[in-house]
Amino acid sequence: QSEDEVLPSAVDLLLAGDRASIPLLPRRLRIGYTRAARLIDMMEAEGIVGPAESGSKPREVLKRKEPDSASSD
């Protein structure tokens, strides 16, 4: 299966928070629910988000966004 071109945008969106939910992606990226679910499954396979919990709870984001090296703190 080829990688979805929206995957990098979806990963960036989820890395900004601490929870990943399928309904968030269609709202923010203007994609369908089925495509969003497939993206979440791809991210789970890559270790970016955790497995689905019981019920409809959001998944845990396992990786964190790398700090921007260009920013000056």
Q: What is the pLDDT of residue 2?
A: 63
Per-residue pLDDT of 16-72, as tens digits, reads 988 899 999 999 999 999 999 999 999 999 999 999 988 788 999 998 766 665 554
> Is residue 26 within 8 Å of 20, Cβ to Cβ?
no
Asked if residue 17 lies in contact with residue 49, where contact means CB atoms within 8 angstroms, the answer is: no
Give the pLDDT confidence of 5-24 residue by residue, as tens digits.
999 999 999 999 888 999 99
Instruction: State which amino acid sits at residue 32.
Output: G
pLDDT at 51: 93
Question: Is the pTM above the cut of 0.85?
Answer: no
